[in-house]
Amino acid sequence: MASPILTEQELLNIVYAMYEADTSNWAATSDEYLSARVMANAAINRWEFYEQTNWRELWTTHASTASDIVKTTTAGTYTYACSTDMIKPASYIRTNTTNYWHVVPLNQVPTHANDNTNFVYFTGNIKVGFTLAFNPNTTLTTAHVISYEYYKSATRFTATTSTTEMTDPYFIVYFVLSRLYENDGEDSKASKAFQEAEGRLENMRTQNMLGFENVDDLITGLGDGFGY
């Protein structure tokens, strides 16, 4: 069901062609284009939070994708900023690919004051960002790669070259069309476009639930072990 990766401008050009029935397209600096961007981001927001779905497209790996934070340990340093797009971590933390660190709920950290085992915990929240903390009773080695999976926030459109993680970006096209028709008072067209958008959204959720062939659909979360 996956559609080709389309940029913001490609998607909004499709919207324009379907809405205006020509291919002149909006100028990227025009009020019409910028308004359509706002509507497109509203579509992304609806997808991101639809039915409390954990979208597979929003799970990523700290070591391979985070460009805004330190990816390696330093001896004597026990706290590390997490990527600014992180919502929640998934499982064990790894250093040097073979050293596994168990995640401890923040409210249980005081009970581990004298513990010298491999454990970590997270502090912070989405507003101020998260911090990964290693057990200070252990020894960290400089230059060991920090690696872990985490759930990220969906990418919003901010430029003509922006792209979305969702597998069917035509959901955005029909969502924006429905808003344009609604603003014009064309209820029938608005309803038809909205139904098409919702059908594509639900189909993405169904495909997300199906998962991968012959792979158990199990993602271990951290419960109350994350954040304050």
Q: Is there a domain that residue 215 lies in? A: no
Q: Do 116 and 182 belong together in one domain?
A: no
**95, 75: one domain:** yes
Half-sphere exposure of 58 (CA within 13 A, CB side): 23
Neighbouring CB atoms inside 10 A of 51's CB total 8
Confidence of residue 114 (pLDDT cuts 50, 70, 90): very high
Q: Is 30 exposed, middle or buried (0-12, 13-18, 19+ CB in 10 A)?
A: exposed
Residue 212 has pLDDT above 90, yes or no: no
Q: Of 59, 36, 79, 17, which Cα lies nearest the Cα of 212?
A: 59
In which residue are the tokens 């330190």 written?
A: 70
Q: 120 with 192, same domain? A: no
pLDDT digits (tens, 9 = 90+) for 54-111: 999 999 988 766 677 888 999 999 999 999 899 998 878 999 989 999 999 999 999 9
Residue 91 has what pLDDT?
A: 75
73 and 49 in a common domain: no
Residues 76 and 113 in one domain: yes
**Cβ neighbours, 10 Å, residue 95:** 21
Indicate if 125 and 199 belong to the same structural domain: no
Q: Do 88 and 109 sit in the same domain of this protein?
A: yes
Which residue is listed with tokens 């985070």? Answer: 66
3-state secondary structure of 14: helix
Structural domain that includes position 122: 57-153
Tell me, yes or no, whether 67 and 122 share the same domain: yes
Whether residue 135 sits in one domain with residue 95: yes
Closest by CA position to 72, among listed 92, 90, 91, 95: 95
Of 136, 153, 170, the residue at which a domain comes to its end is 153
* Residue % of the chain over a pLDDT of 70: 88
Please give the tally of structural domains in the chain.
Answer: 2
Q: Which of 185, 161, 164, 183 is nearest to 173 (CA)?
A: 164
pLDDT of amino acid 211? 65
Tokens describing residue 162? 């922006």
Strands 146-147 and 93-95: antiparallel
In a domain, 221, yes or no: no
Residue 120 in domain: yes
Rg from Cα positions in the chain: 22
In a domain, 219, yes or no: no
Are residues 29 and 93 located together in one domain of the fold? no
Amino acid identity at 87 = I
Q: Whole-angstrom Cα distance, residue 58 to residue 7?
A: 18
pLDDT attached to residue 226: 56
Residue 130 and residue 72 share a domain? yes
Mean per-residue pLDDT of the chain: 90
Same domain, 84 and 124: yes
